[in-house]
Structure 1
Amino acid sequence: MTQTATRPPTVVLTTWETPIYQAGLADPDTPDGGVLAQEMIGKLRELILDAEGRDSGAHTFGVIGAQKSSMDILKWDRPAVSWLRAQIRDAVSAMTHDVLAERAPEVENKYPVIAEAWAVVYRSGGSHRLHTHHDSIYSGTIYIECGGVSATSGNLQLFDPRPAAIARDVTPGVLSLQPRPGLLVAFPSWLPHSVQATQHTDSGLRICIAFNASYDRTGGRP
């Protein structure tokens, strides 16, 4: 299968002086109309659900009504995973250019990107407690299936890291993003975030792939 490079339009919002990357990979306004992303997302869904019952590293830490897979998804030798790695690299590059501006090429040329990813499968009423990530620069998620999601349920919530601003009511304190299949969101790993409970429904799952990424500064390129 030949994959065509179709880098979608991206948006980097600067919220609370914090870069937040969003890319609608499967949206109709992408160069190929989201066709490749839709195909890859479908294959990722199959891989995740097929592996779910056999994953000895799966756990439920931090989640309610959900299960996290082991953190080796990016090591799977599948075309859909190769596509996923490319989307994560694009997000890391966009974030780095937003943060470092003219210094970004220097970092990208010297240090390779390293990343890890894991699936989260939310069932009826599933949610994720407020948390941050460690040992990485950027974190994010790509949405595979969005059952039980609405304007008020199943959303990704990003929290203003400035307690004084919240205390003085100069900020609502939270940015709520409604998932849709193919949406990729990335942000600094230190940014507090959580997942609202999905709706209690008998049909549909909420499936996402979360990731951590940074630059490998242990050796670098010659």
Structure 2
Amino acid sequence: MTTATVAAGTKRHLFRSWSTPIYQADLPGADRINQMLNSLILDAEQRDPHAALFGGIDAIKSCQDILRWGLPETTWLSQQISHAVTALTFDVLGNAAVEVRQGVLAEAWAVVYRGGGSLRPHTHHDSAWSGVYYIDAGGTDAGHLQMLDPRPAAVARGASSGAVQIEPRPGRMVAFPGWLPHSVQATLPDGGLRIAVAWNVAYDKTFTAMS
């Protein structure tokens, strides 16, 4: 925030509001993890082949309890989610933030897109933070994650720069506020499967940190 004195006893303030942090990390050494997660997710899908993804087209929400599988790969994934949430929290709260380890409620589920699969614009309004981890991109130059400008008036007046597009890549973690509207562009018709893990994080209102 800047402050400029324009007259005796008068101050003018210029500041920005509603800044939106978006976290992106390409995690090294994720190939073996992704191979295992790929197999685990497709096996889980076979046990529930008709699970629907709300708002999805040619997309299956194949399982919802990934973080409770108790496997080394899912433990690693949970740690990566924690790193993303901690980074976002520090960005918003600065020195007032603490390492995010307690009082956090997290859930994650796999999403499998077939050729041409997509996901309509939506929000995760019950979560503080949301994100996606890519296991298989299902081809290149398609299926981008689109972050939409949350300001309807700016969009309507043409004062928005438009959607921010993030390319899906194996090993890429993306995280953002749960209220931020987002969608998934259609994957390639013949691009093979696109497999990702989506997740939500909320804070337990009954948790009180020890001083």
Do Structure 1 and Structure 2 share a fold, with TM-score over 0.5? yes
Give the aligned partner of residue 7 of structure 1. Answer: none
Give the aligned partner of residue 31 of structure 1. Answer: none
Give the aligned partner of residue 113 of structure 2. Answer: 122
CA contact (8 A) 2:41 2:63 kept: no
Match 2:81 to one of 81, 84, 88: 88
CA contact (8 A) 2:50 2:60 kept: no
Q: Distance in 1 between matches of 2:52 and 2:41?
A: 14
Partner AA of 2:83 in structure 1: D
Q: CA deviation at 1:71?
A: 1.6
Q: Distance in 2 between matches of 1:44 and 1:220?
A: 34
Q: CA deviation at 1:57?
A: 8.2
Give the aligned partner of residue 155 of structure 1. Answer: 144
Q: CA deviation at 1:193?
A: 0.4
- Deviations for 1:145-182, whole angstroms, at most 9, x for unmatched residues? 011331xx200000011122223323222101111001
Q: Distance in 1 between matches of 2:64 and 2:97?
A: 28
Give the aligned partner of residue 142 of structure 1. Answer: 133
Give the aligned partner of residue 161 of structure 2. Answer: 172
Give the aligned partner of residue 202 of structure 2. Answer: 214
Match 2:67 to one of 52, 65, 74: 74
- Deviations for 1:39-78, whole angstroms, at most 9, x for unmatched residues? 1111111110111110378323210011002321100011
Give the aligned partner of residue 204 of structure 1. Answer: 192
Partner AA of 2:107 in structure 1: E
CA contact (8 A) 2:149 2:155 kept: yes
CA contact (8 A) 2:44 2:63 kept: no
- Deviations for 1:173-219, whole angstroms, at most 9, x for unmatched residues? 21011110011000000000000011110x52111000000222212
Q: Distance in 2 between matches of 1:46 and 1:80?
A: 11
Give the aligned partner of residue 113 of structure 1. Answer: 104
SS at match of 1:65: strand
Q: TM-score, normalization: structure 2?
A: 0.85
Q: CA deviation at 1:38?
A: 1.5
Q: CA deviation at 1:136?
A: 1.0
Q: Calculate percent identity across the aligned residue pairs.
A: 55
Query: 2:30 aligned with 1:42, yes or no?
Result: no
Q: What 5-or-longer segments of structure 1 have no aligned partner?
A: 1-15, 26-33
CA contact (8 A) 1:69 1:118 kept: yes
Q: Distance in 2 between matches of 1:213 and 1:93?
A: 11
Give the aligned partner of residue 18 of structure 1. Answer: 20
Partner AA of 2:186 in structure 1: A
The more displaced of 16-25 and 85-94 is 16-25
SS at match of 1:143: strand
CA contact (8 A) 1:149 1:206 kept: no
